[in-house]
Chains A and B, each alone.
Chain A
């Protein structure tokens, strides 16, 4: 049973005058896959590289498997090669001057394993990524997807407890990316590897993770399960960055009385029932509403039903995106491709109070 934890506390990383990571902390339990999600420049890759030992932080501490590998207070910084973690690089970092076998065997040979054991392990992991027939190929003669598989095989060959993934799928085309996502998750579960995974693709993060850490400007915006992050965003940034959401400005009037919801006055005289995750503050506020949770023309059973007009329709295949004019401005609505409305037609938009989250 894997017992390796990753514990990051108050981590600070500077690049010259720029603070790339500004005092963040999180724990990853053994066998868990946690994703660092955020836009480029948010410090997610820097955090990952600091855990790997490839960046030198200027504050905080990092513990791997109970051992302190970095501590600003103890002036301790274990070099990358002695941290025992493994990593899959965004560029794959497949050494072009070696064969597939030599690439995968590298970590085993560094650890001076006997030849037979090296061979056996390389065969095993190449089998796991379905690349056993390519062992003797020069690594420079592989396609992008094959290089990706070799990079994963190399990272798990020496049976590390912790594997770091730096945007491993971002260079693949969309179809292959979706397939590899499933395979990576399978492999991570099967081998029980504690994983820290960096991506800027919110869909990938939601699909693959046990928990997601949303980062912005070197700080953590929210930590939670994928469902948590999607259904109950804590900040404007999270609501906007993860998934498609409508942000509705307005004023909190007070409790409605029924099942703990609040009354919220939006523009155009629209009155909504909303929920608050924290103790609600009176006054100006913003409500986040996922575009997939809005119904068009459903029998208005109860709350939050308003009349509107279809302004624009865009067919996406898996869904249809509507821009709906309503008294409070415009709403983005996503419906299944079976729910077809003409542009200009009158509709009633409705949504449950539970899905209107006061930020």
Chain B
């Protein structure tokens, strides 16, 4: 019976530990939101609901948030839907390559997008506006420091998310459903309206709700582009409240919790729509959808598809690249002065160089430890039939619904108030990253766990293998593709993390994303561009190395 008891110790321990990591900061958040006494005293001297009732004072931030999110959602869903339809259902040339390119915005992060569009369309100094003025026109062509600017940047980024969700719905639709409609005598248009659209609608709707919820909690674009123009949304108000003197933690917490509540409701809604509104589209089986011959229309459609990639990837990266090599950002050719000084500064500057190193250390260690722990966790939740594993899954997925910034706030109090001296060290950041990336890792590994036939493991046990031996020889090797993917995703997410880091980094534990933001707000756009490009390059190189490794690993076994 000894073999069983090891398993019986490990399983509850892992679940309890991860559950505590998630719930502990949220508990603090709730506690602080009810604190109406002196905000710097803990535990609170007085409890009340004043922080929540006072939220109405911030109605401008609320309406701003709604305005930006609505515009951006509409744009993102239009981008995503068009792109998904063109790339999965038409016969335009080079679709495969375009589909690969659509992954790029994901690696770029909203922060890069915000910086790049700031460089492109910033008032007076923006590259496009410089061109506009050089023609003799007065004023600026566009001002990115506005609600529309923020919405534009968010829409370009979330358009990719919408694309992934909608094209998944389109791909998993059995083409015979449409074919039988055609065979029964319905024309192309009738088939599209009566068969295709109803089948894809739940996917589109759930993508819309999901993207909207993401935007409510998004921070980077509103921070980079909103602060200079004094345009505030809920997340930036929360940030502001913690910086004011005395810091208004109660207000920040109340606002964060309300945002969390709204996001939780919308995300639940998105999931419900997907579960109940879907007929055949989530069988998990991938079909090769029938391609429609669009004839001469394919050139305009090709232009649309490439247009999105140019606007979302090539133009921003190009602008950042140009700026990063210039002494002063300009597109007027006679005024250009090229230099590499920005890169040398970025790597040498007092706190920036170490920030890069810290981010890399965090990325590698968090993803490595995370993959092992989350791998065991995923097995426990989806395989072990341990009682309560459904609840465990729910708790572990929680950070997904909490805006990153709000979670950062909760983590800040949670760990400051613990007599373990990790505040201001990389340990705290590592712990925080691990906590907020639990859902990402769990989802990635779970998709592989669910694909592995349970009888492969049962067979090992019937052959006489104990739990640890079975996990080592059968389960973990079979999960390898999922573990590699999870490692990569957690690494990327760690290196570009902003919302949590901005609260938790200390003078001796700087990381790169907040350092870029600080540089943007306090010094030059040229330097920030160089830093952002180094960060992007780091992610790309890591992805490239890992992909080639993964190919070699899977190439041998399959």
Contacts and interface: CB of A to CB of B under 8 A. Distances in A.
Interface string B445-472: 0000000010110111111111001100
Contacts of A154: 459, 463
Contacts of A80: 458, 461-462
Interface in A160-181: 164
B474 A95 contact: yes
A81 B465 contact: yes
B558 interface: yes
B322 to A, nearest CB: 48
B3 interface: yes
Contacts of A52: 458, 462
A81 B470 CA distance: 10
A167 to B, nearest CB: 11
Given A79-B4, A106-B463, A95 B456 contact: yes
A56 to B, nearest CB: 9
Interface string A27-70: 00000000000000000000000001110000000000000000
A157 to B, nearest CB: 9
A74 to B, nearest CB: 14
Interface string B407-423: 00000000000000000
Given A79-B4, A81-B3, A110-B469, A96 B460 contact: no
A79 B3 contact: yes
B478 A107 contact: no
A86 B4 CA distance: 20
A326 interface: no
Contact of A87 (B3, B459, B473): B459
Nearest to A141: B558
B455 A90 contact: yes
Nearest to B476: A97
B463 A86 contact: yes
A54 B3 CA distance: 16
A85 to B, nearest CB: 7
B464 A54 contact: no
B348 to A, nearest CB: 47
A91 B455 contact: yes
Contacts of B470: 81
A138 to B, nearest CB: 7
Contacts of A53: 461-462
Contacts of A164: 462
Most buried by B among A83, A107, A164: A107
Nearest to A102: B473
B477 interface: yes
Contact of B558 (A86, A90, A107, A140): A140
A85 B463 contact: no
B472 to A, nearest CB: 12
A93 B459 contact: yes
- Which range contains the number of B residues in contact with the other chain? 20 to 34
B459 A89 contact: yes
Contacts of A91: 453, 455
Contact of A89 (B455, B466, B474, B478): B455
Given A106-B463, A110-B463, A54 B458 contact: yes
Contacts of B466: 81
B244 interface: no
Contact of B462 (A81, A90, A97): A81
Contacts of B477: 97
Interface in A136-150: 138, 140
A87 B464 CA distance: 11
Given A80-B458, A95-B456, A110-B469, A138 B557 contact: yes
B215 to A, nearest CB: 40
Interface string B545-558: 00000000000011
A93 B458 contact: yes
B459 A97 contact: no
Nearest to A163: B462
A91 B462 CA distance: 15
A54 B463 CA distance: 12
A164 B459 CA distance: 11
A107 B4 CA distance: 19
A107 B456 CA distance: 13
B3 to A, nearest CB: 7
A163 to B, nearest CB: 10
A193 to B, nearest CB: 14
Contact of A158 (B3, B458, B463, B469): B463
Interface string A85-115: 1110111010111000000001100110000
A53 B557 CA distance: 30
B374 to A, nearest CB: 21
B462 A54 contact: yes
A243 interface: no
A140 B480 CA distance: 16
B453 A158 contact: no
A93 B464 contact: no
A93 B456 contact: yes
Contacts of A95: 456, 459-460, 474, 478
Given A81-B3, A138-B557, A87 B462 contact: yes
B464 A81 contact: yes
B462 A85 contact: yes
B455 to A, nearest CB: 4
A110 B474 contact: no
A319 B474 CA distance: 48
A222 B245 CA distance: 84
Question: Which 10 residue pairs of A and B lie closest in terms of their CB atoms, listed nearest first?
Answer: A107-B463, A93-B459, A93-B455, A80-B461, A110-B464, A89-B455, A87-B462, A97-B557, A97-B477, A81-B461
27 contacts: A52-B458, A53-B462, A79-B3, A79-B4, A79-B461, A81-B462, A81-B463, A81-B464, A81-B465, A84-B464, A85-B462, A89-B459, A91-B453, A93-B458, A93-B459, A95-B460, A95-B478, A96-B558, A97-B478, A106-B473, A107-B464, A110-B463, A110-B465, A111-B464, A138-B557, A138-B558, A164-B462
Interface of B: 3-4, 453, 455-456, 458-466, 469-470, 473-474, 477-478, 480, 557-558
